[in-house]
């Protein structure tokens, strides 16, 4: 069973989120203070660590830095109630792998957890290995996509693009970010590659590609998967 260390001092938020994680099949251990979280992180193996920034006794930035120094390699997802870019940059520089605000929808938090586990080679829960939205079914382990129960053939790039959008469902991702993360191209590259592939996904997965329900364009910002 995939193990997660959840370090969070806000009891109501922690209990609700941990209940959701356990219902998805994860083994979750909770630490409510910074020192307790640090001690648990270095004392046993976890497949993923969810780490709040603001903690009593020892903040999340210090914990992240110190457990990396101790050789802990588990992916770290940092939580914060604040949205300042400087916090995100600092956390990533100290060894965090991803970052999400605590007021984000729980579905986004779950998606980020699933994405980190997949990227790290860890085991996602049986439910997390498959995603359903509308009449679309995606099986990450088998790299299969169906629409109304019928197989849909996606190119490897289309599948990576779909996976990235699912991992960041409900949030706006820019063309520059998609170029960097999906194509490994410079975010400054002038290219219609992203637009062309989004159009391809719409044609294959939307009921009417002219009026997309899922793959939305956010004018001046990028794209959003609305599921």
Residue with tokens 């009921």: 207
Q: What residue segments make up the domains of the chain, in order of their start?
A: 3-120, 130-225
Q: Which residues of the chain have pLDDT under 50?
A: none
Predicted local confidence at residue 168, as pLDDT = 85
Architecture of domain 130-225: Orthogonal Bundle (1.10)
Residues linked to residue 132 through DSSP beta bridges, in sequence order: 137
Q: What is the CATH number of domain 3-120?
A: 3.40.50.2300
| 226 vs 211: CA distance, rounded Å | 13
Q: Is the pTM of this model over 0.75?
A: no
Predicted local confidence at residue 176, as pLDDT = 87
| 171 vs 62: CA distance, rounded Å | 28
Predicted local confidence at residue 110, as pLDDT = 87
Predicted local confidence at residue 77, as pLDDT = 93
């Amino acid at each position: 069973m995939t193990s997660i260390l959840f370090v969070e001092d806000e009891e109501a938020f922690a209990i609700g989120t941990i209940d959701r994680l356990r219902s998805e099949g994860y083994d979750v251990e909770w630490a409510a203070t910074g020192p307790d979280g640090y001690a648990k992180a270095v004392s046993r193996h976890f497949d993923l660590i969810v780490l709040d920034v603001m903690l009593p006794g020892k903040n999340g930035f210090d914990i992240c830095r110190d457990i990396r120094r101790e050789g802990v390699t588990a992916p770290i997802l940092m939580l914060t109630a604040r949205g300042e870019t400087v916090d995100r940059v600092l956390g990533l520089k100290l060894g965090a792998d991803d970052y999400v605000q605590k007021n984000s929808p729980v579905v986004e938090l779950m998606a980020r957890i699933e994405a980190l586990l997949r990227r790290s080679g860890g085991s996602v829960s049986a439910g997390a290995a498959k995603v359903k939205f509308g009449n679309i079914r995606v099986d990450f382990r088998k790299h299969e996509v169906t629409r109304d129960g019928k197989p849909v053939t996606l190119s490897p790039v289309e599948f990576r693009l779909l996976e990235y959008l699912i991992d960041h469902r409900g949030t706006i991702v820019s063309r520059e970010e998609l170029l960097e993360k999906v194509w490994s191209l410079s975010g400054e590259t002038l290219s219609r590659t992203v637009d062309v592939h989004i159009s391809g996904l719409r044609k294959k997965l939307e009921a009417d590609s002219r009026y997309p329900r899922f793959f939305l364009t956010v004018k001046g910002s990028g794209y959003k998967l609305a599921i």
